[in-house]
Amino acid sequence: MVDSGTLATTAQVLLAIGQNASATQILEANTNIWILMAEADMEMEAKSVGLVANYASIAAAEKQWLALVASHRAAFYAINQDQSNWNLAVSQSKLNVCDTIWTEAKPRLSAMDL
């Protein structure tokens, strides 16, 4: 299967999920769905569908930042889907990291001119 998203890859999402990802979280069909959900969230926050449509025209450094945000937003969905492989503290810590990245990204996404 090939990654369905544009802003992040399955490998980046798995890195964001971290150690002991469950079979559900490793499944590429699921990561593809979560990447697409993350991209939709990012485009809604940017108030533009240009994020994915104009990807080729985005600078390389900006693409890396977008990949970081998209992969962690997708990981947020993955971790919420199945928290069975971690104790509550680890699960909450992972969600907090993903949420912090998302919270810090939202103003920057809103300010993007695409």
Q: Per-residue pLDDT tens for 12-25?
A: 999 999 999 999 99
What domain range includes position 98? 10-111
The residue-averaged pLDDT of 23-36 equals: 94
| Alpha carbons 72 and 104: distance in angstroms, whole number | 12
- For residue 29, tell me if it sits in a domain: yes
DSSP 5: -
Average pLDDT over residues 81-100: 93
Q: Which amino acid is at 63?
A: K
Whether residue 4 is contained in a domain is answered as no
Has residue 95 been placed in a domain? yes
End-to-end Cα distance, the chain: 30
Average pLDDT, the chain: 92
Residue 5 in any domain: the answer is: no
Answer whether residue 58 is part of any domain: yes
Domain count, the chain: 1
Residue 50 banded pLDDT, cuts 50, 70, 90: confident
Tell whether 102 is covered by a domain: yes
pTM score, whole prediction: 0.92
Region 44-59: mean pLDDT is 88
- Residue 1 included in any domain: no
Residue 114 has pLDDT above 80, yes or no: no
Q: Is residue 3 part of a domain?
A: no
